[in-house]
Structure 1
Amino acid sequence: MSTASVLIAGSGFGGIALAIELKRAGLHEFTVLERAEELGGVWRENTYPGAACDIPSPLYSFSYAPNPDWPRRYSGQAEIHAYLKRVAAEFGVDRHIRFGTEVTSASFDEERGMWTVETSTGETFEANVFVPATGQLSQPAMPDIPGQDSFAGPSFHSARWDHDADLTGKRVAVIGTGASAIQFVPEIRKVAGKVTVFQRTPPYIMAKNDTVYRRWHRFLFRHLPVTQLLGRLRIWLLAEYATFAMTGHGALTKPFELRTEQLRRRHIKDPELRERITPRYPMGCKRILFTNDYLPALASPNVEVETTPITEITPGGVLTQDSVEHRADVLIYGTGFAALDFLGPLKVRGLGGRDLAEVWAKGARAHLGMTVPGFPNLFWMYGPNTNLGAGSIIYMLERQARYIRQAVEHLSRPSVSYLDVLPEVERKYDEEIQARLADSVWTGCTSWYRQADGRVSTNWPGLVSEYHLRTRRLRLSEFRTVGAR
């Protein structure tokens, strides 16, 4: 039996998860196309000071590749990047990666049942199956503020950190208070002369129950793996509880809200500052942030929190609506990612030349977050409505990889040319997902989870255990199967 060929775009956790799943199933006809010169996705790109994961490492790792050597419960960027590179090498999928090769466009040939993929190098690749695995957090989002190009000093996004910019003794302006900013602000304030944090909406802050793993921890993890497995299970159950609370059972978040209030009172003694950083929206509507040093950093004498809206970037700093210019030597954008733009610069054409950008003009949508009608043999990793408000995305990626692997196995039959998910299946699924999301906490405020028209295109509305069951088996009845010609 011949094997269907697969092209995977991206070598972050999603791309590597699928590559390993294929390899473990004995499917070796796949190539990973990576724009950079090294694998790693967000864990290669985000090298800002203090970069770390806010999901404990026992859960933020592949279930089949536990790591007994994590240095701490919440590992940093370098350790996570090293883990992903090591696992890719151990399973032999690193040999399938073509580095320095960015996918620019992909089009489906109906007659041949093949995807033709064009790249930045001018090379063209062909395969039966095309899998974008570029993730929801790969494109830095820059705010639309007049005068950004006029700033005289170094300015950069946290995901493109300028390590040559010396912050020692400098006045640093930080725009944004998201997951990256709450990690790098406590670090840069140690060397900067002054840090001004421009906050639009305050985040909910939870304590990070971190632990440095000692030698005896690692001995137990290595020689009695069930100890690490039990830790993983505990974190998984807590995340399921948090998700249950955020998807229609808001009363269950009250204990957590009280805890965030306690933390603010403990670390912020200035009542005016404490009022400024107190959220006024339902907990979980925006991403909940875990940190032990952000609130103490805000209370330090060389950090100022500015909540007046920004009107303009000037050569010398940041101008706010009250006509005050906040002088700065360095400008750092901690403004997150364009999570709603699933395609980015990638152009995808399906049956009859259909443009996926046009199909998704009102918001990205896909059956089970993976398949789109009219785009046969196209499967997304970390696609629409598969992000999590709580828990590890790696759990979701493993389930998607399993589902896609089943599709590849079916497409390896000589009698099958392509699978095209039925429009009515995708439509019914999307209607269900959006109806459930309407009752979730994520509709209660403006966030990167939500489009301007209110549609939530990023998040999964249920428990991850439900997603596990719904993706456990590829249901061929949900697809139009076209035979080989």
Structure 2
Amino acid sequence: MTDLNLGFDPAALKQRYLSERDKRLRADANEQYVEMAGKFAHFLSDPYVERPIEREPVTDERDAVVIGGGFGGLLAGARLRKAGIDDICLIEKGGEFGGTWYWNRYPGAACDIESYVYLPLLEETGFMPERKYSGADEIRAYSQRIADHFDLTRRALLQTEVTGVAWDEAARRWIVSTNRGDAIRARFVIMANGPLHRPKLPGIPGIEEFEGHTFHTSRWDYGYTGGTSKGGLDKLGDKVVGIIGTGATAVQAVPHLGAAAKQLYVFQRTPSSIDVRNDRLTDKQWAASLQPGWHRHRMENFNTLVSGGWAEEDLVADGWTEIIRNLGVIARMKAVKEGAADPDELVQLADFKKMEAIRARVDEKIANPAVAEALKPWYNQFCKRPCFHDEYLDTFNRDSVTLVDTNGKGVERITREGVVANGQEYKLDCLIFATGFEVGTSYARRAGYDVTGRDGRTLEQKWQSGARTLHGMTVNGFPNLFIFSVIQSGFTANYPHSLDEQACHSAHIIAEAMGRQATRVEATVEGEEAWTAEVLDSLLDRRKFLEECTPGYYNGEGKISPLAASFASYGKGSPAFFRILDEWRAAGDFQGIEMD
């Protein structure tokens, strides 16, 4: 790469990135994490239910059962309603709607995508968020608003966990079983469990030995810490607290822990990229000026830019879209100097430039040079989910906050009294796991149940040698079943946008099937094989980028196998994927689908 007086050496940066990646590569990849089962099952308990729902088992028949009460399930219900399908039952294991926003109530929890594009159905519900980045409480309340607006509450089964989904070929119905003894017969099933659904624990030796207080961030224990999701953790003043994990959750929680705890130890394997957040109240004049159709236009504008495309105007103009503006600057510089441009080189230079600014911000914020150096991320920006916060870095200037950087190795072990890292034991009163959710494990494990299709074959068995789908949503051998996920679908940073596209697409197919009085809707073998091949072909360029990334859930913790590749998203990006769905529906021939 040519250094265009950018203030950095691209070749040296490339080598630094690779060496930092190599420090963190592990042979066990995703297997380094412990499933929350058996002796760890208590980590999954719901601390938020004040009054358990008591009811009799349900054995009704429904046109559609939707599994999941987060944005995916709510969007599925809303789009089914719009398509004229009213007999819907949503099943949700939490005590309220909200999905990930029901569980994630940790202090500081808020969306890191602008709320005007992140929250779905804003025009349909007539809602305007209070701030540019909505907090968890507002998002959870808005989820209930969606459910009420589309009359999804009436037949919903909350505090109910699906235990199995099995196809009855003779009746051409699904039997949905739950932990409440339900056996619901469904003409169609939509699985909207969510990609970040099941929390995980790190497989650190001795993890079960710690005798202090402990919990996962998705099950925050305010009885122990005091306070609310807005902070004020007033019970930690005499407590020594440790937190493992420095991803998006920890970035939001650490400032509150640092302000409250007697002493806070932050155990870091890989630092996050921390950009400016610049949250603010919604401008009422701006909100009043919006014209019909503004919401979809804004979502599409944002998605185009964060997917590497070009738009004349950047409506959101935040840290997510800034890299595109950097790319424009570099492209002009190169055009002036050489009169030509290599797109791949321009993208890499833009990324280097952006990450140099991220690292410079660390130096500006952190007083201790050694701490600043440890907090600098050395990888391409989209190797890990970028973070945006205006207090996280400053927290490490507190005398009561210690960064325990492990130079990529992670924590060594956990003892009865604390955590050992870099050969030193840190004694703790409380240990918090900000270790995220299962992504690379089997689909059935993440969902918490398996699906049994025609001939008694399960989805787990079907996908044992690799995922096979049509457009990521329908699977041969599993009639009348629709799956919302990132598998072979269009990944975007603004995940609710992708969920809405999937909801519209599935509702379109279901409405057509009901109009034809079809009892079976199923992907053909040829349809799913062709789509799977297209997905794998689309990943060829993306694979090299991911292989060079520091390990994380985007790249299977550094282990990208042909099997793992089949579970990846469509490699040409979500805008291209959404166009494919639009054109497929417009064609009207339902290519790759059988209905009878």
TM normalised by structure 1 equals 0.91
Q: What is the distance in 2 between the residues matched to 1:165 and 1:192?
A: 12
Q: Does 1:397 align with 2:499?
A: yes
Q: 1:480 corresponds to which residue?
A: 594
How far residue 364 of structure 1 moved from its aligned partner, in angstroms, is 4.4
Question: Which amino acid letter does the alignment assign opposite residue 468 of structure 1?
Answer: F
CA contact (8 A) 1:287 1:389 kept: no
Give the secondary structure class of the aligned counterpart of 1:121. Answer: coil
Aligned ranges 1:203-218 → 2 under 5 Å? 203-213=272-282, 217-218=283-284
Separation (CA, whole Å) in 2 of partners of 1:80 and 1:430: 35
d(CA) in 2 for partners of 1:334 and 1:471? 36
Residue of structure 1 aligned with 2:463, choices 336, 341, 360: 360
C-alpha distance in structure 1 between counterparts of 2:163 and 2:210, whole Å: 32
**Distance change >3 Å, CA 175–CA 9, structure 1 → 2:** same
Match of residue 150, structure 1, among 209, 227, 239: 209
C-alpha contact (below 8 Å) 2:62/2:184 kept by paired residues? no
Per-residue deviation, 1:222: 3.7
Q: Provide the residue aligned with 2:577 in structure 1.
A: 467
Secondary structure at the aligned position of 1:32 is classed as strand
- Contact between 1:19 and 1:30, CA under 8 Å: does it hold in 2? yes
Q: Which residue of 2 aligns with 1:261?
A: 359
Deviations 1:129-150 (A, max 9, x none): 1111110111001111122222
Which position in structure 2 is the counterpart of 1:57? 115
1:329 and 2:425 are equivalent in the alignment: no
Shift of 1:276: 1.5
- For 2:468 and 2:224, the matched residues in 1 are separated by 40
Q: Aligned residue for 1:48?
A: 106
Which is worse superposed, 364-373 or 181-190? Answer: 364-373
CA–CA distance in 2 between the matches of 1:148 and 1:305? Answer: 20
413 and 356 in structure 1: CA distance in 2 versus 1, 3 angstrom threshold: same
Q: Deviations over 1:20-58 (max 9, x none)?
A: 111122111221111222111011111100000000010
CA distance in 1, matches of 2:460, 2:293: 47
CA contact (8 A) 1:68 1:222 kept: no
Taking a change above 3 Å as real, the CA distance of residues 20 and 358 of structure 1, as seen in their structure-2 partners, is same
The alignment's C-alpha RMSD in Å is 2.6
CA distance in 2, matches of 1:204, 1:223: 35
Offset from partner CA, 1:420-468 (integer Å, 9 cap, x none): 2123322332233233334223333321123344435354433432222
1:232 is displaced (CA, Å) by: 5.2
Partner secondary structure for residue 95 of structure 1:
coil
Q: In the alignment, is residue 173 of structure 1 matched against residue 242 of structure 2?
A: yes
Q: Distance in 1 between matches of 2:273 and 2:89?
A: 41
Out of 399, 406, 418, the residue aligned to residue 317 of structure 1 is 418
Q: Counterparts of 1:461 and 1:53 in 2: how far apart (Å)?
A: 25
State how far apart, in whole Å, the 2-side matches of 1:389 and 1:274 are.
Answer: 31
Distance 2:238 2:301 in 1: 44
Asked if 2 retains the 8 angstrom alpha-carbon contact of 1:4 and 1:409, the reply is no
d(CA) in 2 for partners of 1:389, 1:89: 27
2 CA distance for matches of 1:362 and 1:303? 47
Q: 1:240 aligns with which of 299, 307, 324?
A: 307
> Which position in structure 1 is the counterpart of 2:478?
375
Cα deviations by residue, 1:224-260 (Å, 9 ceiling, x for unpaired): 4469657656544432336997996434323321321
Structure 1 or 2: more helix by fraction: 2
Paired with 1:453 and 1:464, the residues of 2 have a C-alpha distance of: 21
- Partner Cα separation in structure 1 for residue 165 and residue 78 of structure 2: 23
One-letter code aligned to 1:49: P
Q: CA deviation at 1:266?
A: 1.2
CA contact (8 A) 1:268 1:299 kept: yes
Q: Which residue number corresponds to residue 29 of structure 1?
A: 87
Distance (whole Å) between structure 1 residues aligned to residue 403 and residue 358 of structure 2: 18
Q: Secondary structure at the match of 1:201?
A: coil
- Contact in 1 for aligned 2:172/2:187 (Cα 8 Å): yes
| Contact map agreement 2:177 2:184 (CA 8 A) in 1 | yes
Which stretch shows the higher mean deviation, 132-141 or 61-70?
Answer: 61-70
Decide which moves more: 131-140 or 238-247.
238-247
Query: Is residue 2:199 matched to residue 1:199?
Result: no
**Is the Cα contact below 8 Å between 1:136 and 1:340 reproduced in 2?**
no
Aligned to 2:367, the other structure's residue is in SS state coil
Q: Which stretch of the first structure deviates more once superposed, 119-128 or 378-387?
A: 378-387
Which residue of 535, 538, 554 corresponds with 1:449? 554
| Structure 2 equivalent of residue 304 of structure 1 | 402
Distance (whole Å) between structure 2 residues aligned to residue 181 and residue 237 of structure 1: 29
Residues 32 and 97 of structure 1 are in contact (CA less than 8 Å); yes or no, is this contact kept in structure 2? Answer: yes
Deviates further, 147-156 or 339-348: 339-348
What is the percentage of aligned positions where both structures have the same residue? 30
Q: CA deviation at 1:95?
A: 1.7
Q: Secondary structure at the match of 2:98?
A: coil
- The equivalent residue for 1:118 is 177
**Matches of 1:288 and 1:194, distance apart in 2:** 27
TM-score normalised over the length of structure 2: 0.74
- DSSP 3-state at the match of 1:416: coil
| Structure 2: distance between partners of 1:48 and 1:158 | 6
Cα shift at 1:169: 2.9
**1:315-343, Cα deviation, whole Å (9 max, x unpaired):** 110012x4311111100000000023433
Name which of structure 1's ranges 367-376 and 392-401 shifts more when overlaid on structure 2. 367-376
Query: 1:66, 1:253 → 2: CA distance?
Result: 38
Taking the aligned partners of 2:79 and 2:88, their CA distance within structure 1 comes to 11
Where 1:65 maps in the other structure, the secondary structure is helix
Which residue, out of 434, 439, 444, partners 2:541?
A: 439
Q: Which letter does structure 2 place at the counterpart of 1:301? A: D
Aligned-partner residue type, residue 221 of structure 1: A
User: One-letter code of the match for 2:571?
Assistant: P
SS of 2:352's equivalent?
A: helix
How far does the alpha carbon of each residue in 1:168-203 deviate from its partner, in whole angstroms, 9 at most, with x for none?
A: 231111101111010000111101011111111122
Q: Count matched residues.
A: 475
- Return the alpha-carbon distance in structure 2 between the equivalents of residues 58 and 110 of structure 1: 44
What is the letter of the counterpart of residue 374 of structure 1?
A: G
Letter in 2 for 1:400: Q
Where does the alignment leave 5 or more consecutive residues of structure 1 unmatched? none
What amino acid is aligned across from residue 436 of structure 1 in structure 2? S
1:373 CA displacement: 1.9
- Shift of residue 18, structure 1, vs aligned partner: 0.7
Separation in 1, partners of 2:490, 2:354 = 21
Deviations 1:113-134 (A, max 9, x none): 2111111111101111111111
Task: State how far apart, in whole Å, the 2-side matches of 1:262 and 1:232 are.
Answer: 31
- Counterpart code for 1:22: L
